[in-house]
Structure 1
Amino acid sequence: MSLQAKLDAFKADFVAGKSPYNAPPEIHAVMARATAELVASGLARRALKAGDIAPYFSLNDPDGKPVSSADLLARGPLILSFYRGVWCPYCNFELQALQQVLPQVLAAGASLLAISPQSAANSRKSMRINELGFPILSDMHNEVAALFGLRFTLPDYLIALYKSRKNDLPAFNGDDSWTLPMPARYVIGSDGVILYAEINPDYTQRPEPQDMLAAFTA
């Protein structure tokens, strides 16, 4: 089953009240409104795209070790997945799908990283439950996400919904700004040029991992 088919099936169960998240029907319209507004904002169109130069950055892995994009690009292409957090089931499905293609990524001499605003402890949890062989780096305050044009602030009504559902982003992230990255996937060439970019203001839509492989395996 494709990644998007899994996401669509999960969403159908979630809306029908058949998922373990036990979400009441009234929340769906609120979440759909927030997604539609983010799509309509045009923020995704202003994010970095293929052909742009990617910013260099250094972020810590879950063990506090700094990871430099410049160091990794000196060895080969770099794949980045901007990840909302362990609390997001759609993101977890995507990480699991990326893990499945990790052998192909490594065989091509490329590196794969996920980037999330969540705390190191939550990144360790995410790596454990998703059985990842690649790290999730801590992007405090979504500063690297902002460099790529991905950071956005949640609207007040969505913050209220998250609080009512005990989805406490300030606690998850160690940051009270209530910002998130739009889910996005990039392939960056060794020269720093973005070879592939997919930005998803609708977090329930994600590209297939195979879609990016041609950018660095051709």
Structure 2
Amino acid sequence: MSLQAKLDAFKADFEAGKPPYSVPSSVIETMHRATDELIASGAATRALKAGDKAPAFTLKDPEGRAVSSIDLLNEGVLVVSFYRGVWCPYCNMELEALQAALPEFEAAGARLIAISPQTAPNSRKSLRQNGLSFPILSDPRNEVAAAFGLRFEMPDYLVELYKGLKNDLPAFNGDPGWTLPMPARYVIGQDGTIRYGEVNPDYTRRPEPEDLLPAIRRAATIAA
């Protein structure tokens, strides 16, 4: 089953209230409203895209080690996935799919990292829960996400909904702000140029990992 098919099946069960999910229709309507408004804002069109230069960054892994994008690019093509956090089931399914595709990425000459605003303990949970062998990096206050044009402020009504659902993002992220990154995937060539960029303000929509392979191979050929 494709990644998107799995996401669609989960969404259908969740919105139908099938066990173990049971949420009022008003919650679903609020989530849809927030997604529709983010789409209508045009935020995704302003994010970095193929042909743009990727900003350099240094972030910490769950053990507190600094990881530099420049160092990673010196080793090969870089695949970067921005995700919301371990609390997001859609993100977890995508991370699992990326893990399954990791051997193909590496065979094509690419390194893979994932970035979220969550704290180190929650990144460690992401690694354990999804059986990941690639680095998860913490992006405090979504500053790197902002440099890529992905950070957005959650509307007040969505903040209230999350609080009501006990989804405490300030605790997850160690940051009093209520911001999130739009989920995004990038393939960055060794010269720092983005060769593939996919940003979707609808967090239930994600590309198949295999969609990145042509761009990875082209970028690896250019580097060679």
TM-score range, shorter chain: over 0.9
CA distance, structure 1, for counterparts of residue 171 and residue 178 of structure 2: 10
Inter-partner Cα distance in structure 2 for 1:9 and 1:150: 26
Aligned to 1:5: 5
Deviations 1:104-155 (A, max 9, x none): 1112221100000000000000110000011110000000000000000100
Would you say the 8 A contact 1:77–1:190 is kept in 2? yes
Distance of 1:136 and 1:40 partners within structure 2: 30
Q: How does 1:31-50 map to 2 (within 5 A)?
A: 31-50=31-50
Partner of 1:175: 175
Structure-1 separation of matches of 2:122 and 2:76: 28
Three-state SS of the structure 1 residue aligned to 2:75 is coil
Indicate the residue corresponding to 1:100 in structure 2.
100
Aligned to 1:89: 89
> 1:19 Cα shift?
4.6
What CA distance in whole angstroms lies between the structure 1 residues aligned with 2:61 and 2:191? 23
Q: TM-score, normalised by structure 2?
A: 0.96
Structure 1 residue runs of 4 or more that deviate by more than 6 Å after TM superposition: none
The whole-number CA distance in structure 2 between the counterparts of 1:116 and 1:41 is: 22
1:50-61 counterparts in 2 under 5 A?
Answer: 50-61=50-61
Aligned residue for 2:28?
28
Describe the superposition over 1:8-46 as per-residue Cα deviations: whole angstroms up to 9, x where unpaired. Answer: 000000000015343222200000000000000000000
Q: CA RMSD in A?
A: 0.8
What is the TM-score with the length of structure 1 in the denominator?
Answer: 0.98
SS in 2 for 1:111: strand
- Tell me how far apart the structure 2 counterparts of residues 24 and 127 of structure 1 sit (CA, whole Å): 31
Match of 1:72, SS? helix
Name the counterpart of 2:68: 68
Question: Is the CA contact 1:10–1:19 (under 8 Å) kept in the aligned structure 2?
Answer: no
1:207 corresponding residue in structure 2? 207
Counterpart residue type for residue 70 of structure 1: I
- Structure 1: runs of 5+ lacking an equivalent: none
Report the CA distance between 1:185 and its aligned residue. Answer: 0.2
Aligned residue identity for 1:125: K
Residue 150 of structure 1 is matched in structure 2 by 150
CA separation in 1, counterparts of 2:182 and 2:153?
Answer: 10
One-letter identity of the residue aligned with 1:121: P
The equivalent residue for 1:123 is 123
Query: Paired residues, what number?
Result: 218
CA distance in 1, matches of 2:176, 2:20: 28
- TM-aligned CA distance change 1:114 to 1:164, over 3 Å: same
Q: Which runs of 5+ in 2 are unaligned?
A: 219-224
Higher helix share: 2
